[in-house]
Amino acid sequence: MHDRLATLYPQHLATVREHADKALALGGFDHLLIAAGMPGLKFLDDLHYPYAVSPHFKYWLPLTGAPGSWIVHTPGAKPKLIFLQPRDYWHVVPDAPSGYWVDSFDIVIVRTAEDAVAQLPQGRCAVIGEATAGVAGIVINNPQPVMDYLHYYRAYKTPYELVLMREASRIGTRAHRAAEQAFRMGESELGIHQAYLAAAGQIDAELPYASIVALNEHGAVLHYTEFTRTPPQPARSLLIDAGASARGYASDITRTYAAADAGEFQALIDAMDAAQQSQVAMVRSGRPYADLHLHAHHQLAGVLNEHGFIRMSAEAAVASGVTRAFFPHGLGHSIGLQVHDVAGFARNDRGDTIARPDGHPFLRMTRTLEPNMVVTIEPGLYFIDMLLAELRDKPVARDIDWARIEAFKPYGGIRIEDDVVCTDDAPENMTRDAFALN
Ligand code: GLY
Ligand code: MN
Ligand code: MN
C-alpha cells in the first residue's frame, strides 16, 4: 500500500493546491494558513481532552499527531509545513516528518507554538482553525467563501484518498469479524468492544467515532455508548456501529447479528439487508441523495408489512409517519476525513444549500451524487419505546400489530451500514469488498 500512496500522493496534493488557489482567489486572499490545532484543556485541570487534528490540516498531509503545527499555502510556491517539535521530557515529542509526502513541503521545525506563529506570513491571510488554535499574534478568520469552496470540493475523493478509505474499511471489517465472534462467545458489551479494538489495533481515541456496541434492547438507543460489563442472559442480538481510521480517513460500519436461535429476528435482518443492498445499488451519479432516503422509507414499509408489523400501503405508512417511528434517522451521510463529512447539503461551491425533505429533520445529506463522492447507506428498523408510544396515540395505531412489536422489542433494532463510492458506473461498496477479504 505504501508504494501506491507514494505514487498517488503528488496528484492528491496537486488537487488540494488547485482547490486552495481558487478558494483564495474567490475570497481575495494571498495566503492560506491552516492550524493543526491544539488539544483542549479540561476545566480546572492540567489534563487535556484527546487531541483531534483539524480535518483541513490532514487533507494536505497524513499527520494526525502534530498539534501546534501549521500549513502555509501561497499560490505558486511550494507549500510549507511549520512543524512543532517541542523541547519536552514529559511527553513523546513527534518524530521529525518522514515518508512519501515530505519532499512536497518546505519543512521548518520550531520548538514552541509562538515560534510557529512567528513563521506565518503577513498580509491577506485566510486562517483556518478552531478558535482555540489561536495563539498570540494570529487571528483565526475561517472566511466563509473560502470554507464553502473547500468543503464543496472535499466531497470528491482523489484516488489517494480512496486507497486510504479502503484501508480504513479493511481494518474496520477485520475488527467487526472479531466483534461478531466475541458476541457468539457470550462476551459483554465491553468484552466485544475490547475484541474490536484488539483486532483493529487502534485505541478508542484513534477511532473516527465512539463505537456503539449494543446487546438486546440497547440496539434501540441510536447513540448507545455505554459498555455494560456483564453479558445479558440470554444475549439475543448485537448491533455494532464501529469504524476505523487510516491516516486520518474514516470508515463507518454497522452490522446487526442475531443469536443462533433467533429465527424471526434473523429473517428481519435478512430483509433489511436485502433492502440495504438495493439502496446501495442506487448510489449512481446524478441522483439526489434525498431520493434514496425517501425510497428507503418505502422499502421499510414493505418490510414492516411483510413481517406483520403493519397493515397498510407503503404510501400510507410513509405519509402518516409510521416508517419514521421505526427509522428516525437519515439514510446516511458523506464520509472521508470526518465520519460525518462536510457539505452534505451543498447545492454549489458558493454556500447555497438544498433543503431536507419535509418531515425528515435528521437527514445529513441532500446533495446530488457524483463520481468519487463517498457516502454511507445505513437504513435502520428499531423498536423505540418513546416513538412507538407517540404512534399509539394516532388513528393509524389500529393498523399496527402491537403484540408483534412487543415480541421484537427485546432485540432492540437493526442497522446495516456500508461506505459506498459513487462512480461513473455501478457503485463500489468499500465495506462489502473489505468484508469479503477479511
Ligand atoms: N456512526 C455514526 C453514524 O453512523 O453516522
Ligand atoms: Mn454513519
Ligand atoms: Mn455508523
CB 434 within 8 A of CB 173: yes
Classify residue 20 by burial, with Cβ atoms within 10 Å: 0-12, 13-18, 19+: buried
252 lines ligand 1 (CB under 6 A): yes
Q: How confident is the model at residue 93 (pLDDT cuts 50, 70, 90)?
A: confident
Q: How many residues does the structure list for the chain?
A: 438
| Alpha carbon of 283 to ligand 1 centroid (Å) | 18
For the annotated binding site for Mn(2+), the residues are 241, 252, 333, 378, 417
Q: How confident is the model at residue 94 (pLDDT cuts 50, 70, 90)?
A: confident
Which residue among 213, 223, 335, 378 is best mutated to probe the pocket of ligand 1, counting the most ligand atoms within 8 A of its Cβ?
Answer: 378
> Does pTM surpass 0.95?
yes
CB 237 within 8 A of CB 258: yes
CATH fold for the domain made of 159-437: Creatine Amidinohydrolase (3.90.230)
Q: Mind giving me the DSSP string for 83-119?
A: EE----SSSPPPPPP-STTGGGSEEEEESSHHHHHHT
Residue 134: pLDDT above 60?
no
> CA-to-CA distance for 390 and 385, rounded, in angstroms?
9
Q: How confident is the model at residue 18 (pLDDT cuts 50, 70, 90)?
A: very high
In tens, the pLDDT along 243-258 reads 999 999 999 999 999 9
Identify any residues that bridge with 215 across adjacent strands, giving them in sequence order. 238
In tens, the pLDDT along 140-188 reads 999 999 999 999 999 999 999 999 999 999 999 999 999 999 999 999 9
Residue 350: pLDDT above 70?
yes
428 lines ligand 1 (CB under 6 A): no
Mean pLDDT across 3-7: 96
Mean pLDDT across 264-280: 98
Residue 108: pLDDT above 80?
yes
> CA-to-CA distance for 394 and 321, rounded, in angstroms?
10
In tens, the pLDDT along 110-128 reads 999 999 999 999 999 999 9
Percent of the chain with pLDDT over 70: 99
341 lines ligand 1 (CB under 6 A): no
Classify residue 88 by burial, with Cβ atoms within 10 Å: 0-12, 13-18, 19+: exposed
Predicted confidence at residue 133, as pLDDT, reads 54
Span of 131-140, 246-255, 419-428 with lowest mean pLDDT = 131-140
CATH fold for the domain made of 2-154: Creatine Amidinohydrolase; Chain A, domain 1 (3.40.350)
Q: How confident is the model at residue 261 (pLDDT cuts 50, 70, 90)?
A: confident
Ligand nearest to C-alpha 362: 1
Mean pLDDT across 204-216: 97
What residue spans in the chain does CATH classification 3.40.350.10 cover?
2-154
What residue spans in the chain does CATH classification 3.90.230.10 cover?
159-437
